[in-house]
Each structure stands twice: as C-alpha cells, then as structure tokens.
Amino acid sequence: MPSNEVERELAGPLYGQEPWPIRFYSHTFAAACFNTLACSFVYNRYQFGTQKRDWTGQIQDVPSGPPPADRDVLWNSGHIISPKKGQTFPGPVELAWTALDNTPLHASVDLDAIFRDRLVLHRVSREQVKEPWLQTLSRDPVSPMILVELDDRTVSVYMQASIATEAEQVPGNPSSHQRSDAVLAWTHTY
C-alpha cells in the first residue's frame, strides 16, 4: 500500500477535508440524571443512571438528587465510543425513568439525527482558533464529549469540545489557550 493510502487509512474519514467548520467522527459519552425517583440510560450496550442491582440480582431504584451548583463536574469522565466503519453512533440512547410525580416515562434519543452534520458545537469564532491546531484536524480530529442529561421530565443533550485559541482565555495564564464550553444541542420535555 503506498504511503499516502496508509496515512488516509490511519487518519480516518476526515483525512484531507477542509478543517473548518470543525467536524467529528468519534465521541465520548456521559449521562446524568437529576430530580427523578429512578433513571436508566442504555447506550452502546452500557447502562448508566441510578438503577442498581443488589447482591441478589434484583434491580433497586435509587432516587437522584438535584443538579450540582457547578455542572462542570458532569464533564469529568465518560464512556469512549469507537466508531464502526461508516458509523459514528452505535444507536439511540434509550431512557427509562420515573419522574418526581411518580410517572414512569420512556424516551429514545437519536444522536445520529441530532448531530447529522457531525459539526463540533463550540463558541469560538474562526478568527480566534489557533491556525496550526486547526490544520492538524484532518489527521487528528476533535473527539467531543456528548452528555445526555435528564432532569425530572426534561432531557437535554450537550456537546463539549476543547478548541485551541490564539488568545489566552485567562489573562496572564499562558496555559489557557483553549475553550471548552458545554453547548446545548437539543432539549425536550416529556
């Protein structure tokens, strides 16, 4: 295989594409629930939420509390999703929960439809982006975090990605040449 074909295969589907707007093909997933009597998220065959199995194998529903004052703690960890060939999302996020008024609810959130264009959501203008970093994206693309948050009857989907910037984001801190904002992509109240 010639060298440029090897590079293309290793780089993935964004190889050789224009770096702006910023696109993604892999992501990290996290889930959080608040103000429910019980909640369960199933994504990529993994379960997240407050439903737990006890030592006998029985499912125990555990209430979730209110959201933390600083929601940045929600972005500290996630489940890495490695895309299959030609497929960014392994399927929808299946939610089952009990709202605070004791109503059982179900929803299916289609991330493939929400992020159809595979655009990285961020709050950095083209002029603010660090040019050398931007030029590396066709070989080393951004892999954003996608967070599905459930709060009583409202499901919200956020995206967060680190974007390198020309200017310091914290004046006087030379290590702050990046922004990493959580951006709301979709929300629905059931």
Average pLDDT over residues 103-120: 94
* C-alpha distance from residue 73 to each of 48, 69, 76, 87, 113 (Å): 16, 9, 6, 29, 27
Predicted model pTM: 0.82
According to DSSP, residue 165 is labeled: B
CB–CB of 75/30 below 8 Å?
yes
Average pLDDT over residues 55-77: 71
Higher pLDDT: 24 or 87? It is 24
CB–CB of 40/59 below 8 Å?
no
Average pLDDT over residues 26-47: 90
ω into residue 90 within 30 of 0, thus cis?
Answer: no
Give me the amino acid identity at 168: E
- In this structure, the chain runs to a length of 190
CB–CB of 5/120 below 8 Å?
no
Q: What is the pLDDT of residue 7?
A: 47
pLDDT > 70? residue 34: yes
Provide the residue ranges of all domains of the chain, joining segments of one domain with +. 19-189
The phi and psi torsions of 83 (rounded to 5 degrees) equal: -70, 145
CA–CA separation, 37 and 96 (whole Å): 11
CB–CB of 23/138 below 8 Å?
no
